Amino acid sequence: MTFTQSLLCAGAIAFALPAWAEISVSDAYARVSTAMSTSGAAFLAIHNSGPEEDRLIDVKSAIAARTELHTHKADANGMMQMLHVPEGFPIPAGGLHLLERGGDHVMFMGLQQRLAHGDTVHLTLVFEKAGEIEIDVPVDLERGTVSVTGAQMQTMQGAPEGMAPQHQHQN
């Protein structure tokens, strides 16, 4: 095989490899509603700077008997309910998906210990393409909500201003 043939073969192999999502997580925090709560939630911003959509398909934590992906949805009477989302959440290519209060979030049910301000919760985020990403999430009982408008969400390519990525993962 000549050098040119080797180079062409290597180029063909490179083009045959899939383009993976490049996932980073920022602005993560967890909270409980009271000191005696048996449930809690985590919120974060997931950025995908890659050329392909990915999907958050699961979340794991030893802090609770069950850790699930949840969302809020209005029922026929306009009452909000929390629902488990077993199919997970899409993370658009070159985009952002927020897990936030009143929307999509990580839900802890059957907390194994009390969570106090300043504690840390270890989470494993499981993505369809990027695999598992482990993060440590601070418990912040004083935190307000993050305000990102729909226009910002559609145009973001990297981390939002003031939200430096805490963890990056590339496959």
Cite the beta strand spans of 5-159 per DSSP E. 22-31, 39-48, 54-60, 64-74, 80-84, 89-91, 95-99, 105-111, 120-127, 131-138
Instruction: Going residue by residue through the chain, which has 171 residues, state the pLDDT in tens, using 9 for 90 and above.
Output: 544 444 444 444 434 444 456 999 999 999 999 889 999 999 999 999 999 999 999 999 999 999 999 998 888 888 888 899 999 999 999 999 999 999 999 999 999 999 999 999 999 999 999 999 999 999 999 986 554 433 333 333 333 333 334 444 444
Residues 99, 106 contacting (CB under 8 angstroms): yes
Residues 103, 72 contacting (CB under 8 angstroms): yes
pLDDT at site 30: 97
- 79 Cβ contact list (under 8 Å, min separation 6): none
Only one residue has tokens 């029922």, namely: 75
pLDDT at site 137: 98
Instruction: List phi, psi (to 5°) of 108.
Output: -105, 120
pLDDT at site 143: 85
pLDDT at site 136: 98
Residues 22, 50 contacting (CB under 8 angstroms): yes
CA distance 18 to 158: 21
CA distance 111 to 104: 19
